[in-house]
Structure 1
Amino acid sequence: MVFWNSPQHGANSFNRLPPSQKYFDDLAGYGATWVRLSYDKWPTQNRDFLLGDADHYQALTGDDLKVLKATLDRAHKANLKVVITPLSLPYMRWAQNNNGVFDDRIWSDKKYWTDANRFWRDLASALRGHPAIAAFNLVNEPAPEKKGGLEEHALPDQMKHWYQKHQGGSRDLRQFYQTLIKTIRGVNPDVPLMLDAGWYAAADSFSYWPVGIEDENLLYAFHMYEPYDYTSGPNMKREKPLSYPGKLPFASESSVWTTWDGERVKKYLSGPSEWASNVGVPQNRLVLGEFGCGRLLPGCDQYLKDVLSAAESLNLHWAFYAFREDSWDKMDYELGATDKVHWKYWDAMEKGEPDPVERKSSPLFEIIREKL
């Protein structure tokens, strides 16, 4: 955990192909110290990378494990620390690998937790001692609340009431994590473990946890794409996109748009820090695991500045989304705030070939680079 004692700044890697040595070298060259690495898009001979089949997990797929270890070796050579981040678990397949359908099985019955524990036992054992590993992020953006009757960004009292009703059941994310932690500690007693908040790692979703979890090597992570109606896909498709700063819709306030600016961003991101203070979790255990906005959106530069300013004032670890993603260009800030990606990008993706587009820093990316 010594690595996490002071603020660490890095990037997310959610690429369709395992990143090259140049990829990691260039990221480190910008000043990043860590990368949050997801492998679920990588090619495999099976249904699900590393899992074999999320519907019938038996053991780690040997060939896929070799690819993952080789990728970790490249990151280590670049002096980058890695946080392994599965998007899928047994009986919880990532929606984009599941024909767009949200997989609620693991949250609907505790019997499905057993294979998730076996998977993490196997992976923690297989990667024990690898010098690149800075943490295991137990699952990306869990959402046990989604089909459990709790609205996204509900008021704190509503969240607490919901949790009292579901505590100890299959939608109890905190208890789910406790079972995984116990399993992992049986084979890897000291590795840091990163826990995403519920409702897709929303920054307000730790508020219903009555306390943290008893383990000295834990990190508590959340993501920042709020207000979602501004930062992400639906807004990019509007004929006239919403702009930032300005009055924007957000959750229960959607009927009355409210002002989002640097002050509002900081107030929202202060929620996990306030929760941590109340329950005795050290502030240096909080991680802003993802943040970003569509690079072509009006005001994206100011949004990035405001999120980074808030993260700096709160002394958060952070990782921007995303570095040179080879299957989605909308948050690839090296490409700038005005230009569409070259057609060769899409051609390579269609052929399953490496991304051929050369990158260089842009004024938009410089906002991030200056803080790395």
Structure 2
Amino acid sequence: MPRAGTNQFNQVPEQEWFEAAAAENIEWVRITFSKWNSKQKDFLAGDLDNYQQLVKKDLATLKKAIGWAEEQGLKVVIAPLGLPGSRWTQNNQGKKDQRLWNDKKWWQASARYWQDLARALKDSKAVVAYNIINEPKPEFGTGLAEHGDPARYKGWYEKYQGTSHDLPEFYNTVISAIRAVDAETPVMVDAGWYGQAQAFVYWPKLKDAKVLYSFHMYEPFNFTSRQNYLRKRKGKELYSYPGLIPYAGKVEQWDKKRLTEWFTPFNEWAEKNSIPANRIVAAEFGAYRRVPGGGRYMEDLLELFDQKQYHWAFYSFREDEWDGYDYEIGNRALGWKYWEAKEKGEDPEPPRDESNPLWQVLDQALETRTRT
């Protein structure tokens, strides 16, 4: 059955968050723990530059959060943002860390890390998948454009197949290590170029029988990102959806028809490789909450996902670090009192109003999914 979920990218895991998620008919949660505090350099891994073993205290914290989810009937997908040789950019002083894609020695370290993590979590009733790495980018720095004709991947893969940039083979390596200790839990694999659905088109079907193929959807990024909203400060008109929006070097009309066209190469790849809908996950999608047409954009995406019967998880639910994708707030400004409290070191709750059009789109979709 297609399942409706959300992303938990919070700095601090709290029991109340899981209670609130369950109350909103959310069925599963993609938990990333890379922002959580640790006495070590990197939460759970200790040091992604020199992985040795899981940090026991951090593992206990993770298991506690999984327990909170289980108490609320929520299923969990574990999704680290970084692996040995690939520290998340925001945890790396804004610098992209490409070691994992430049030297296969990091593949082995990542395989050991995941084997240890699978061994520790395999008996959890709440954990339904291991999402091996968030938004990999082995294409970065190789001359392959991030956006463009999907056919460009064919020549690229012919050149890089078998090298440290070979993402499908990397996944086969890690999955093999996981299966040595856990034969049952499904694995979730993100496509390249930050999880783009179109970046699957060159892939062979992976060897393992329990793979979920995952993509993230924020295209066209010129519309969905906060950078769009910041155009107001420069006196420029915001990009609206539906409307004319720059993408891959040209301005195009983006609407439901264009979204459908954008997904066509991916859907054709899935059909060609006999990958059923229940193995496909829209693991992240959304838009900065103050861009014009954000609700319509998400409504069109949700209709497309439901037509295909894909699992999905919106980004995000009540993130404690940033309000930009907290749809319960709607498109309103938070106001000076909220920011004044923040400056004083307080932790104020943002003024949420679930009657706003943005949240209503998601609320209706969550209710529809759970009823079926």
Q: TM-score range by the shorter chain?
A: over 0.9
The aligned residue for residue 148 of structure 1 is: 142
Could you tell me the TM-score, scaled by structure 2's length? 0.93
Distance 2:347 2:53 in 1: 29
Distance 2:344 2:27 in 1: 32
Q: 1:244 aligns with which of 212, 234, 241?
A: 241
CA apart distance, 1:357: 3.5
CA apart distance, 1:47: 1.1
1:107-157 per-position Cα deviation (integer Å, ceiling 9, x unaligned): 001111111011001100011111110101000000000112211123233
1:268-315 per-position Cα deviation (integer Å, ceiling 9, x unaligned): 234332211011212220100100001111111111111111111111
Q: 1:327 aligns with which of 321, 326, 333?
A: 321
C-alpha contact 1:270 1:314 (8 A) present in aligned 2: no
Q: 1:226 aligns with which of 219, 225, 232?
A: 219
Distance 2:313 2:286 in 1: 10
The aligned residue for residue 66 of structure 1 is: 60
Q: Name the CA shift for 1:302/1:267 in 2 (closer, same or farther; >3 Å).
A: same
CA apart distance, 1:30: 1.3
The aligned residue for residue 333 of structure 2 is: 339
Distance 1:190 1:348 in 2: 45
Distance 1:206 1:138 in 2: 16
What amino acid is the match of 1:229? Answer: N
Pairing of 1:63-212 with structure 2 (within 5 A) = 63-209=57-203, 211-212=204-205
CA apart distance, 1:233: 2.4
Q: Name the CA shift for 1:151/1:40 in 2 (closer, same or farther; >3 Å).
A: same
C-alpha contact 2:118 2:181 (8 A) present in aligned 1: yes
Distance 1:327 1:266 in 2: 33
CA apart distance, 1:342: 6.8
Give the SS at the match of 1:258.
Answer: strand
1:39 aligns with 2:33: yes
C-alpha contact 2:188 2:213 (8 A) present in aligned 1: yes
What amino acid is the match of 1:220? Answer: Y
Runs of 5+ consecutive residues of structure 1 not aligned to the other structure: 1-5
C-alpha contact 1:51 1:60 (8 A) present in aligned 2: yes
Distance 1:280 1:349 in 2: 53
The aligned residue for residue 305 of structure 1 is: 299
Q: Name the CA shift for 1:354/1:121 in 2 (closer, same or farther; >3 Å).
A: farther
Give the SS at the match of 2:42.
Answer: coil
1:212-265 per-position Cα deviation (integer Å, ceiling 9, x unaligned): 1122211000011000011002212112321111111111xx2x3110001111
Distance 1:312 1:271 in 2: 18
1:65-90 per-position Cα deviation (integer Å, ceiling 9, x unaligned): 11000000000001000000000101
Answer with 163-172 or 40-49: which moved more: 40-49
Give the SS at the match of 2:124.
Answer: coil
1:215 aligns with 2:204: no
Give the SS at the match of 2:200.
Answer: coil
Give the SS at the match of 1:12.
Answer: strand
What amino acid is the match of 1:236? Answer: Y
Q: Name the CA shift for 1:364/1:190 in 2 (closer, same or farther; >3 Å).
A: same
Q: Name the CA shift for 1:355/1:275 in 2 (closer, same or farther; >3 Å).
A: farther
CA apart distance, 1:346: 7.9
CA apart distance, 1:29: 1.5
Q: How many residues align?
A: 361
C-alpha contact 1:153 1:204 (8 A) present in aligned 2: no
The aligned residue for residue 369 of structure 2 is: none
Distance 2:257 2:18 in 1: 34
C-alpha contact 1:153 1:205 (8 A) present in aligned 2: no
Identity over aligned residues, as a percent? 43
Task: Please give the root-mean-square deviation of Cα atoms over the aligned residues, in Å.
Answer: 1.7
Give the SS at the match of 2:358.
Answer: helix
CA apart distance, 1:329: 0.8
C-alpha contact 2:114 2:174 (8 A) present in aligned 1: yes
CA apart distance, 1:358: 5.8
Q: Name the CA shift for 1:342/1:279 in 2 (closer, same or farther; >3 Å).
A: farther
Could you tell me the TM-score, scaled by structure 1's length? 0.93
Distance 1:182 1:44 in 2: 29
Distance 2:274 2:299 in 1: 29
1:15 aligns with 2:15: no
What amino acid is the match of 1:14? Answer: F
The aligned residue for residue 366 of structure 1 is: 360
Distance 2:348 2:124 in 1: 28
C-alpha contact 1:335 1:341 (8 A) present in aligned 2: no
C-alpha contact 1:248 1:260 (8 A) present in aligned 2: yes
Distance 2:114 2:253 in 1: 43
What amino acid is the match of 1:244? Answer: Y
